[in-house]
Amino acid sequence: MSVSLHEGTIAALKQRTGRRGMSAYVESLIQRELERERLRELIAAAEAEHGPADQRAVDAKREILRGDAASSADAA
């Protein structure tokens, strides 16, 4: 397989990984992007079936994940 990249992209990759780590780095980036695309597809399918998520519920869960649940409970 062969891919074409802009010179600036290649320079940035080399700076981050050195010459020997480029393939592994690119592989991990592609895997992460594929996971994100799958997640977007899953969300779209769930919203098509159940409607959009309640933004207040999403915000509350985000606060819990970030450790902000106590401060948001105090504000309520």
Residue 51 has pLDDT above 60, yes or no: yes
Residue 42 has pLDDT above 70, yes or no: yes
Residue 76 has pLDDT above 70, yes or no: no
Q: How many helices (H) and strands (E) does the chain have?
A: 4, 0
Q: Say which residues have a Cβ less than 8 Å from residue 63's Cβ, sequence separation at least 6.
A: 69, 71, 72
In angstroms and rounded to an integer, the radius of gyration of the C-alpha atoms of the chain is 20
* Amino acid, single-letter form, for residue 24: A
Q: Can you give the pLDDT at residue 36?
A: 98
